[in-house]
Structure 1
Amino acid sequence: MDNANECGTSQDLPSRLRLLGPLAGWCGGHPIELGPPLQRAALCVLVGHEGRVVPKDVLISGLWGDGPPNTAEQSLYTYIAGLRRALEPHPGRRGPYIILVNRSRGYALERGKVRVDVEDFERHLAEARRLRGASDLRGGLRALDAALAYWSGPALCGVPGPFAAAERARLEELRLSAREDHADMLLGLGLHQEAARTLTELAAEAPLRERTRELLMLALYRCGRQADALQTYLDVKRLLAERLGVDPGATLRERYELILRADPSLARVQDRASGAEVPARPPRQLPRAASVLVGRAEELVRLRSLLSPWDGGPPQAVIAITGAPGAGKSALAVQAAHASSHAFPDGQLYVNLQGATPGVERLKPIDVLGRLLRALGVPGEALPSDEDEAAAVLRDRLEGRRTLILLDDAAGPEQVRALLGLPSGNTVLITSRESHAATDDCVQLVLGRLLRSEAVTMLAKLVGAERIAADPAAADRLAHLCDLLPLALRLAAARLAERPDWTVRDLGTRLEDRRRTLHELESGRSAVRSSLELSYESLANGNGLDRLAARTMCHLGVLHVASLTAELVSALLGEPVDAAERALDRLARAHLVEISEPGRYRLHDLVRLFTIELADARLTPETRKDALLRTLGFYGATARHASTVLDPHRVQLPWPAVPQRPLAFETVDEARNWLAEELPDVVAAATQAMHSEDDDVARLGAYVGFALTWQLAMGAHHREQRDLNRQALGVGERTDDQEILSLAHGQLAHALLNLGKETEALPHQQAELELRRALRDRFGEMRALGNLGVVLLKLERYAEARERTKAQRAIAREIGSDVGERHSLVTEATACLRMGDLTAAMSLIHEQLALAQAAGDRYHEACGLTLVSELHLKRGDPQTAKSYLERGLRVAREIGYRISECESLVMLARVHRLLNEPAQALAYAREALAARQRSGYKNLSPLVEDELSAIETAFPELRAAREASPRVALAG
């Protein structure tokens, strides 16, 4: 009896097929003869659509592609008959068939009648993902071992046809991703040697897979082989350049940089339970708990019961500690968080929301979400720019975990609403001056004053028991003068510690002299202000450095920014930088400023409020104005200089003559870092100045905003650019300053254009042009014409755009503006392209590219390379477009031009789609999506989404792979 008929005698035993290796089948333990190669290919198509009807034309296409022979349909009948002889339990009969059945227009392999190893493989992969999500890495490893055990060679080995080729590629991608996941779990369990061996083999097998190299670098580093880890990066960088002409991705570059500097986040730690080495520990961001926390015993017990319930149940989802300023909310929250840290093994996160910081803008929910996601391991380039999307990613990251998030100093419920609703087992602990009683699933703890005995005990611990016991009545009086609030008590104790010659009664007498001031402020603020006044007077009456520190304290209330540097305070005071640095260090020793990081200082919230009042009381209006003008001059001059260092070809907007000299930057990176770090404070200073009633201050504030033009544009800070220039427009209208009005109209148009509001941008751009002509400013008129051309392009008024651009170029050549000429050529070439005049567009853009490259203008080079690539695509030449796009992408990344980077990535995805290279197309499209999210430039969203849709339409197997294994697809 032959093998096929053997199957017919074993009706109770379903057939088994092996696709993960040389194609083979069995029935009842005996091999099945599956026939010639194309018959096997037909079986693979049917298996791939198990349970669904496969039309004949789909089968034919899967076997022969777009060029089937004339005998294709007849051959198909032969293959179906052969498969029935192999699979059906009664192959000698003519129907009814129970495994391979006829349906309208095609055939179907009945679900469950044939057992296929691919299904078992994918089932084990899904189980591995589930176990990993539940933090069961050992279980996940076992599931992956079981999945990979099904492989005995290349999938569908020897099977011809387009369908088999696509399915082979899909399965191979799943296998490689599974091996990477296996190695990743080994790393998670501290098995670094095993992971390194696995990944070394995998890198030899698939040398261009960046995730493999990234994991191998980490494994080698944790094995103490830093040099080998770095060489791994250099090897893949060379291979990518030689074979694909691209650079390593951002994640791989970031891993290389971390290893290069032996970043502590890569360090190995010991798992306390098993003793095994594991990757860098979960985040532990809680500030140090206060060394003296007196009282609050009842509140502390209550908090611990909510954070770590006695019955072992899940912790309370949201807890809010509210009360007056200075009540010790933050100290209590930190103490409770430390005491309950064992209940949150997956990490404790901390963010100061700056909700009640006088004069400083509170953190936006999207910024808070970004900090939390980075702490949880989400790379910076993958952070969503949309608040709801970021909140969803946070919930996904915390699923199955037990993590505590301490949100300190919330302005109110609205600031934290997006951060709530986390998976069970996680807790958000909030401190705030505002009530959170209406917040969903929240337990609120209202913190009042200390008991008298607790306040006196706190003084004794801070000052010394003997000193307090020497005059109990005076100690009791001092406690009440401090309103029984911890912050005021701590500051009062600090003054006593600094002045050992004072008795407790001496300090009490000083506080009593300020009863009117205490009465003017609410509860805790009264005692804080009196203590701060004492500290200030001590400095003002001290030596030269103390007096400089006191003067500095007065001046700090003039400028409302979140952080301070010695260079900034130098401008504020009109003193040398070293003097400003000494003054700040003296204030830090007096606990009146805090060192947030080396070289950077911040004011405690209540101290900041005191300095604002101090500036109003101790400085004349002229002194305050001069200090603010000096600071604005420093900020604006340095911002302009930094932008020029980054790109000397960009035209800076006009800037008034100021005596302040900008910081000197030795490298481009120094300039870039200064702009990135100081941008929020410079924006805040410009905004503060433009709200001033003093016209001189308001005008200079507007110019500081203009100095940020290129940083805001290149970094895609379009909302900040819009808001600053709306304020500048108000300043120009109020002061009737035609120059400011012109600049504000032009910059506002630019911001609105980048926010997708072309119709709103047009009147502002036209207004700038009219003002420039009225001012007889030929250069300004030339720029305004060029920018008007860009707006008209976005409005699809291409003929008008071309007309304005030609006018721009005529003026540019008249006045000798090379950058204006380059800009006009790009815009006109774009207009010609949109109107279908490809020849004119190609001539114009090649002229522009030659000029940009000769001048070394990387920004205009990036613009030109993108456009010439699009022209080659229009001409049906994707291969040439690819080479231009790869150059353009490199340039855009080097200069930090995020919009151009995203456009280049989208077009590279399109190029690879047209070249029939699905894997590369999908990779570039996903990279474009990440770049779009980083930039916040939503105008590019349709471009990216349309290309992703086009790729899945052109290569339906990619959609099938994503639906079958979404997590693997996203990692591809």
Structure 2
Amino acid sequence: MTEEQPPSPIGARSYDELSQRLRQALAWAGLSHRELHRRVRRLRTARGTADLPAYNTVYRCLLPGRKRLDVELVVDIAAVLLGMDVAAEWRQAHRVITGDATEAAVISVADHLPGGTGRFVGRQEQLRQVLEAEPEDAGVWAISGMAGIGKTRFAGEVARLLAERDRFADVRLVVNLRGFDADLPAADPAAVLEGFLRRLGASGGEIGCLTLADRSALFRRLLDGRRALILLDNAASADQVLPLLPALPTCLVLVTSRRRLAELTDARHVALDVFTPEESVELLRDGIGDERVDAERGEAADIIELVGRLPLALALVTRRLAASDEWTMADHRDRLADLRTMLRLDDGVEVALRTSYDELAEPDRILLGLLATYPGRDFDDHAAAALAGVEVGVVRRQLGDLVAANMVTARESRFELHDLVRVFAEKRVRESVQARVRRTAVGRLLDFQLATTRTALVTCYPHEAERWEDLPTPAARALVFDGADEAMAWLDAERVNLVVASGWALSEGRDEHVTRLACVMTSYFEARVHVSDALALFGNAVRVASGVTRGHVLNGLAMTHWQRGNAADSLAVLQDAIKEFDAAGESDYVLNLSGNVGLLLAGLGDYRAALPCFRRALEFAVARNNESFRARQLCNIGVAEMRLGNHSAAVDHLSRALETTRASGDHLCECRTLDGLGTTFRRMGNDTEAWACYEQALDVARQTHNRADEGKVLNHLGVLLVAAGRFDEALAHHRRAIDLAKEIGSREGALAASTDLAATLLAAGRAAEAVRCLRQAIDSANAADSRYELARAQSGLADALFAVGDPVAARKHWQTAHAAFTEMGVPEAASSMASPLPST
């Protein structure tokens, strides 16, 4: 006898098909027709049946082309070939063919646990959750997840481990409820109970006249006091499951379903997600070996992401890899990428998703398809409502259905589609919904995003409400925010989606959306930075903007380069912006941008050249009675004067800026002004005043979600802590500042904090660490073309090299730093000359 699964009559729809299944059973059992005949006669004789069939009768029962079959002979042949416990299953199959029963009544109940191919991988946390439950606290575990997530395998592993511990060992009942079968109807609970009861010793005559409720009651009585493990696999709904629950303390029931069966109120729920990257690699290694995975590590990572770390899809690829050495990992990666491009999936994944999809109501299918075309990473209910063109209350109910069906994943208040679900649903919406309807839906979403973005930014930065008052905004219904915190939270959550939507709009020729979105996001990126996203958004807009709008977009792009630490690139882009405004005859904008030119010159270390730019911008602000812009230029002048060592002038300008910016409500400027005052006081030796200014600046930065300036202020507080001898606290502040700068992509912020971190390490007696840190800072400063920070790093490295006993190298770096400081005209030139240079 082979180790293959025994043939089953389930799905046979004619006598000929049923006879074919019997022939398969004969081959599976490995018996001859003669031996089969002898055993059927022996079975009937032992049972006391007088009707003993002739050899020809048994032989003809297995011939092709049968038009009728004797049910009792079918059952006896199946019992001889496959075992007595399959009789009910074959009897029910015969009843379906005769029309006396439905296919839902044909079920197969097993008393052995399902096996799996290969070693069980992953899910350790979820396994512990179930296995560590108290033995006497059995009850029901409802295991849910999307198609192909590995629910049956997980439930089988739980059952196997429990069996090894001899828990629930008296009775084991396993049934596939066929809730999402591609070809067969869901199993009838009454038929399942009949199968259970027969396994527990009840006779057919005893069961036949019982109602569903009576069968449930008998099931409970027969299990009372016995330790039972029941696996109800692939349930369609709670209604299908509830009659099958014994509700006894000695019985453990494992239910798997693609739906989260919330109606099972007494059950404990386990929701399975896709594999982690590590679990995915482990599955590949288990299937094809470590050597092959290690040899094509990059290709393996690509495959894992292409299938979205879905266990079923990974298992299919692994089997393909194991079956042929001719197909490399790269071949399979390319195959999967081609399938994705064509909106196709591997057959096994396609079937699994289709059965879930077919169970959805038509409006839910349409919504799922539209969500699959959504140009973004995740979404909330308001975005889904805009996409679908319905009220948010309606879409919330639909999203609830899709989440319950595990076709959409809910993560707190946001939703997302698995990559393979997206591919599957997008193909179907392209087949069933016209292209113009899909484009209109995404257009509604883009209008909603743009209108809400503008509302959010005005909520966060009310002083800039006039800035874009002439910019047209779609007539879409925008969200209303309860304060700046809520508005900023929405912007943070939607940032990546807005950038992706910008790219989609660009590809669809919606140029106005691209440019308007870039303009209104300028203030957000000034505070939150996110350099890579800002570069993408402004980069899209530059490709299609013209005239004054192009000038605004180029200005945003230039300031993003500046925030990144590329002052030279930024200055070149800003000059292009000025040319656009000049060509359009907008001299006011040219004057307005002179303040930004000054910032870029200061970034290059040319503070003397920056001051006239700031002053021209200040004159423009005064003439236009723009208090917010006036405060910014006063702040810029104050910081430049401080860099040049003119502390009295710095305090004067910064104090005036602080008074003005608090009146205007420009919290970005308020934070930077307080930080500038703090640094000026520190340089003047007034650490108490400096500390007070820095703490106020930190509060403002955090209240307004200004991460760029939060990092700068933390770094400056670290410098003050060094002066107080609190080295550990100082190092923590510097490192947090570096982390923030790296998160938002600010090379300049990371560079300044790294140089100060090294100075603190040196002050703490850790000179060797300081040397390593400063060498890295010098490399970063060279890449960023930041002359001032490069000179600071050179000077710091000289101090550290001198401390570790290398005066010759130290002298070289002091001289380099001194030359740079002197050229910039900053007071550090004098302090670098005072360094203990070794004699030649």
- In the superposition, the TM-score normalised over structure 2's length comes to 0.51
Cα distance in 1 for residues equivalent to 2:629 and 2:761: 41
Return the match for 1:870 from 679, 697, 700.
679
Return the match for 2:441 from 607, 610, 627.
627
Residues 115, 156 of structure 2: 8 Å contact kept: no
CA offset at residue 934 of structure 1? 4.9
Show the counterpart of 1:639.
453
The 3 A distance-change label for structure 1 pair 583 and 739 is: farther
Return the match for 1:300 from 118, 124, 131.
118
Cα distance in 1 for residues equivalent to 2:347 and 2:447: 34
- Residues 877-956 of structure 1: pairs in structure 2 closer than 5 A: 877-915=686-724, 918=727, 921-922=730-731, 924-956=733-765
Show the counterpart of 2:561.
752
Cα distance in 2 for residues equivalent to 1:789 and 1:567: 42
Cα deviation, 1:541-583, whole Å, max 9, x if unaligned, reads xxxxx55434434433432323233211221122222222233
CA offset at residue 306 of structure 1? 14
- Residues 83-98 of structure 1: pairs in structure 2 closer than 5 A: none
Residues 779, 815 of structure 1: 8 Å contact kept: no
- What 5-or-longer segments of structure 2 have no aligned partner? 1-109, 126-145, 163-271, 302-311, 318-338, 770-840
Residues 552, 577 of structure 2: 8 Å contact kept: yes
Cα deviation, 1:59-118, whole Å, max 9, x if unaligned, reads xxxxxxxxxxxxxxxxxxxxxxxxxxxxxxxxxxxxxxxxxxxxxxxxxxxxxxxxxxxx
Show the counterpart of 2:379.
564
SS in 2 for 1:299: coil
Show the counterpart of 1:235.
none
CA offset at residue 634 of structure 1? 1.1
Show the counterpart of 1:714.
527
Cα distance in 2 for residues equivalent to 1:533 and 1:866: 61
Residue 532 of structure 2 aligns with an amino acid whose one-letter code is R
The 3 A distance-change label for structure 1 pair 740 and 853 is: closer
The 3 A distance-change label for structure 1 pair 432 and 676 is: farther
Q: Answer yes or no: is 1:616 the counterpart of 2:430.
A: yes
Show the counterpart of 2:346.
524
Show the counterpart of 1:582.
397
Show the counterpart of 1:805.
614
The 3 A distance-change label for structure 1 pair 330 and 529 is: closer
Residue 714 of structure 1 aligns with an amino acid whose one-letter code is A
Cα distance in 2 for residues equivalent to 1:442 and 1:332: 30
SS in 1 for 2:378: coil
Cα distance in 2 for residues equivalent to 1:944 and 1:800: 25
The 3 A distance-change label for structure 1 pair 659 and 779 is: farther
CA offset at residue 849 of structure 1? 0.9
Show the counterpart of 2:499.
683
Query: Which shifted more, 656-665 or 609-618?
Result: 609-618
Query: Which shifted more, 769-778 or 866-875?
Result: 769-778
RMSD of aligned C-alpha atoms?
Answer: 4.7
Residue 528 of structure 1 aligns with an amino acid whose one-letter code is E
Residue 460 of structure 2 aligns with an amino acid whose one-letter code is L
Cα deviation, 1:31-51, whole Å, max 9, x if unaligned, reads xxxxxxxxxxxxxxxxxxxxx
Q: Answer yes or no: is 1:602 the counterpart of 2:416.
A: yes
Cα distance in 1 for residues equivalent to 2:397 and 2:603: 53
Cα distance in 2 for residues equivalent to 1:886 and 1:829: 19
Residue 381 of structure 2 aligns with an amino acid whose one-letter code is A
Cα deviation, 1:904-950, whole Å, max 9, x if unaligned, reads 22222222333555565455445544544554433223322332333
The 3 A distance-change label for structure 1 pair 580 and 776 is: farther
Task: Provide the aligned length of Structure 1 versus Structure 2.
Answer: 496
Residues 118, 286 of structure 2: 8 Å contact kept: no
The 3 A distance-change label for structure 1 pair 607 and 858 is: same
Cα deviation, 1:609-651, whole Å, max 9, x if unaligned, reads 2332344344444433322222111112222222222332346
Residues 564, 745 of structure 2: 8 Å contact kept: no
Cα deviation, 1:424-450, whole Å, max 9, x if unaligned, reads xx995569999997543999999xxxx
- Residues 702-851 of structure 1: pairs in structure 2 closer than 5 A: 702-732=515-545, 737-777=546-586, 780-851=589-660
Cα distance in 1 for residues equivalent to 2:287 and 2:442: 31
The 3 A distance-change label for structure 1 pair 739 and 304 is: closer
Residue 840 of structure 1 aligns with an amino acid whose one-letter code is A
Cα deviation, 1:197-223, whole Å, max 9, x if unaligned, reads xxxxxxxxxxxxxxxxxxxxxxxxxxx
Cα distance in 1 for residues equivalent to 2:124 and 2:386: 49
Cα distance in 2 for residues equivalent to 1:803 and 1:340: 79
Residues 593, 602 of structure 1: 8 Å contact kept: no
SS in 1 for 2:410: strand
Cα distance in 1 for residues equivalent to 2:702 and 2:505: 34
SS in 2 for 1:868: helix
Cα deviation, 1:833-873, whole Å, max 9, x if unaligned, reads 33333333222111111101222332211111111122222
- Residues 104-143 of structure 1: pairs in structure 2 closer than 5 A: none
Cα distance in 2 for residues equivalent to 1:650 and 1:431: 56
Cα distance in 2 for residues equivalent to 1:636 and 1:843: 41
Residues 592, 603 of structure 1: 8 Å contact kept: no
CA offset at residue 783 of structure 1? 4.1
- Residues 464-483 of structure 1: pairs in structure 2 closer than 5 A: none
Residues 752, 761 of structure 1: 8 Å contact kept: yes
Residues 742, 771 of structure 1: 8 Å contact kept: yes
Residues 690, 702 of structure 1: 8 Å contact kept: no
Residues 714, 733 of structure 2: 8 Å contact kept: yes
The 3 A distance-change label for structure 1 pair 738 and 437 is: farther
Show the counterpart of 2:44.
none
CA offset at residue 889 of structure 1? 1.7
- Residues 57-76 of structure 1: pairs in structure 2 closer than 5 A: none
Residues 450, 473 of structure 2: 8 Å contact kept: no
Cα deviation, 1:397-430, whole Å, max 9, x if unaligned, reads xxxxxxxxx99478xxxxx6xx79xxxxx99556
The 3 A distance-change label for structure 1 pair 649 and 340 is: farther
Query: Between Structure 1 and Structure 2, whose CA radius of gyration is higher?
Result: 2
Residues 121, 282 of structure 2: 8 Å contact kept: no
Cα distance in 1 for residues equivalent to 2:452 and 2:288: 39
- In the superposition, the TM-score normalised over structure 1's length comes to 0.45
Cα distance in 1 for residues equivalent to 2:399 and 2:729: 54
The 3 A distance-change label for structure 1 pair 807 and 893 is: same
CA offset at residue 523 of structure 1? 6.7
Cα distance in 2 for residues equivalent to 1:650 and 1:435: 60
Identity of paired residues, percent?
20
Show the counterpart of 1:276.
none
The 3 A distance-change label for structure 1 pair 523 and 564 is: closer
Show the counterpart of 2:197.
none
Residues 759, 795 of structure 1: 8 Å contact kept: yes
CA offset at residue 790 of structure 1? 1.2
CA offset at residue 334 of structure 1? 5.9
Residues 446, 501 of structure 2: 8 Å contact kept: yes
Residues 879, 911 of structure 1: 8 Å contact kept: no
Cα deviation, 1:130-167, whole Å, max 9, x if unaligned, reads xxxxxxxxxxxxxxxxxxxxxxxxxxxxxxxxxxxxxx
- Residues 226-375 of structure 1: pairs in structure 2 closer than 5 A: 297=115, 299-301=117-119, 328=148
SS in 2 for 1:723: helix
Cα distance in 1 for residues equivalent to 2:286 and 2:553: 38
